[in-house]
């Protein structure tokens, strides 16, 4: 169904995407700084405000909230009105939410080096920074986004809802519940293992019920747009949606296997982790089948390459996740760099790739200008892929090696033999053995940082410069395939 010409309000898209792209580079720079200053040359730059405990929350908060979540919200502002055939319900509410969002998050995350953050993983936002109620302003900003998106969908012109709208509605609900649980609910639970369990519910579902549905909503919208072909199967996409809704919320406990928690809860996490293959395979097959017969577009379009490689990385991360839920595997991989690699392949190599592809399609439309350089876009993809290989392999292989080294401590049949193993292989020796793995991770991180700096330059020039006279790309009126 082809939509008639509608005047969309794209200023909220710009106000979310433009700063988010800059924060992506800032967050990745902090990550590269940590890779060298913490692991390869410990405390080469030393000081109270730049040691690992102060800097890592800045990196995590910047890349998760100021970059990826903000970019995803900007893309929601872009494609939800277009799928509904109506402008955004309230631009004024959008402007208020954007102002509160950036104001609160920049102050909150920027205050971490001064020790304002909480100790809960991914839930670092302080309640207050001096007189600024950071966490409460962020909560209000998100509520306004939810209201605006649901009202846009409720007042839509097109009765039939495309799959991206289903994922959008799901993520609006699930993100709200997950954020409330991690930011507020964890403090309402009695101290002890119950509070830890709630924390890991939040940690895992930040990926599973926040970034996953947001990323898949993006992929399901932008792949058909970029390849100019309808999605392969709407029914298959709905199987994946409801499988995510049913499965994901139960598997957070697989991060605390063998801990002082109920065996039935551990078993539940294992079982539902195995069922995770259902939504994963439906998504992976659906996206690949969508491009069937159109693989020439993969070679010609960097955004399509980002989407399809993100799809492959999505498959890999969702194989890795269920595997490390198995008790025997978890004994080796738990608390190692394997888990760090798992989080990076999902948040970076999958959902950041999806968001980048969406930005490549959206920016020319909202600026009414072609992309400044397709060649730079190709370099952006190639360098990201080249950098991802040593980066992720170093974390996966190095993490498994860490676990195997630690496992030798458990050899023996007596307490005395265990302590003898500890004496023969001190913990610091296992750290030294990781040096070359961390070197490869740092090299991969530098390549990725260079790649995404090219991305920022390309997008910046697209926004501010006039189109080159030699550019043959012509923007066409958007068509929504439903």
Alpha-carbon distances of 211 from 14, 151, 171, 206, 407, rounded to whole Å: 20, 22, 8, 7, 33
Among candidate residues 469, 386, 448, 422, the one with its CA nearest the CA of residue 29: 448
pLDDT attached to residue 408: 82
Q: Among residues of the chain, what percentage have pLDDT more than 90?
A: 80
Residues of the chain below pLDDT 70? 1-4, 468-482
Among candidate residues 167, 256, 240, the one with its CA nearest the CA of residue 204: 256
pLDDT attached to residue 468: 63
SS3 290: helix
Q: Which of left, alpha, beta for 42 (phi over 0: left; psi -120 to 50: alpha)? A: beta
Q: Please give the backbone phi and psi of residue 439, each rounded to the nearest 5 degrees, phi first.
A: -65, -45
Summarised one tens digit per residue, pLDDT across range 50-101 is: 999 999 999 999 999 999 999 999 999 999 999 999 999 999 999 999 999 9
pLDDT attached to residue 425: 85
Q: Would you state the structure tokens that stand for residue 383, as one six-digit string?
A: 């360098």
pLDDT attached to residue 415: 77
pLDDT attached to residue 167: 97
- Delineate the domains of the chain, giving CATH numbers in brackets: 1-160 (1.20.120)
């Amino acid at each position: 169904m082809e939509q008639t010409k509608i005047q969309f309000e794209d200023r909220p898209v710009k106000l979310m995407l433009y700063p988010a792209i800059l924060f992506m580079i800032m967050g990745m720079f902090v990550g590269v700084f940590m890779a060298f200053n913490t692991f390869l040359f410990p405390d080469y730059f030393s000081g109270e405000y730049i040691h690992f405990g102060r800097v890592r929350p800045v990196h995590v908060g910047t890349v998760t909230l100021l970059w990826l979540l903000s970019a995803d919200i900007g893309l929601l502002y872009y494609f939800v009105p277009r799928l509904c055939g109506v402008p955004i319900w309230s631009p004024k509410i959008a402007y208020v939410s954007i102002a509160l969002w950036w104001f609160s998050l920049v102050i909150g995350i920027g205050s971490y080096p001064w020790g304002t953050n909480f100790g809960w993983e991914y839930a670092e936002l302080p309640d207050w920074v001096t007189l600024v109620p950071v966490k409460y302003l962020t909560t209000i900003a998100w509520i306004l986004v939810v209201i605006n998106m649901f009202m846009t969908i409720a007042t839509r012109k097109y009765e039939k809802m495309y799959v991206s709208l289903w994922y959008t509605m799901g993520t609006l609900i699930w993100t709200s519940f997950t954020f409330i649980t991690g930011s507020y609910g964890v403090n309402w639970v009695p101290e002890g293992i119950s509070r830890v369990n709630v924390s890991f519910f939040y940690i895992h579902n930040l990926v599973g019920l926040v970034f996953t549905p947001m990323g898949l909503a993006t992929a399901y919208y932008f792949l058909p747009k970029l390849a100019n072909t309808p999605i392969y199967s709407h029914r298959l996409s709905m199987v994946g949606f409801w499988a995510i809704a049913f499965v994901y919320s139960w598997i957070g406990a697989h991060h605390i296997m063998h801990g002082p928690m109920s065996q039935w809860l551990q078993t539940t996490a294992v079982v539902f982790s195995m069922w995770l293959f259902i939504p994963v395979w439906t998504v992976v097959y659906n996206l690949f089948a969508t491009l069937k017969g159109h693989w020439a577009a993969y070679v010609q379009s960097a955004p399509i390459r980002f989407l399809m490689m993100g799809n492959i990385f999505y498959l890999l991360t969702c194989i890795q996740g269920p595997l490390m839920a198995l008790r025997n595997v978890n004994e080796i991989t738990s608390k190692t760099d394997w888990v760090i690699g798992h989080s990076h392949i999902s948040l970076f190599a999958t959902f950041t790739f999806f968001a980048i592809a969406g930005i490549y399609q959206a920016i020319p439309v909202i600026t009414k200008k072609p992309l400044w350089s397709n060649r730079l876009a190709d370099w952006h993809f190639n360098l990201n892929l080249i950098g991802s290989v040593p980066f992720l392999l170093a974390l996966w292989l190095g993490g498994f090696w860490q676990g195997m080294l630690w496992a030798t401590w458990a050899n023996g049949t007596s307490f005395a033999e265990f302590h003898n193993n500890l004496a023969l292989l001190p913990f610091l020796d296992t750290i030294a053995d990781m040096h070359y793995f961390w070197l490869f991770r740092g090299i991969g991180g530098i390549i990725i940082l260079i790649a995404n700096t090219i991305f920022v330059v390309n997008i910046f020039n697209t926004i501010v410069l006039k189109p080159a006279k030699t550019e043959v790309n012509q923007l066409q009126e958007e068509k929504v395939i439903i």
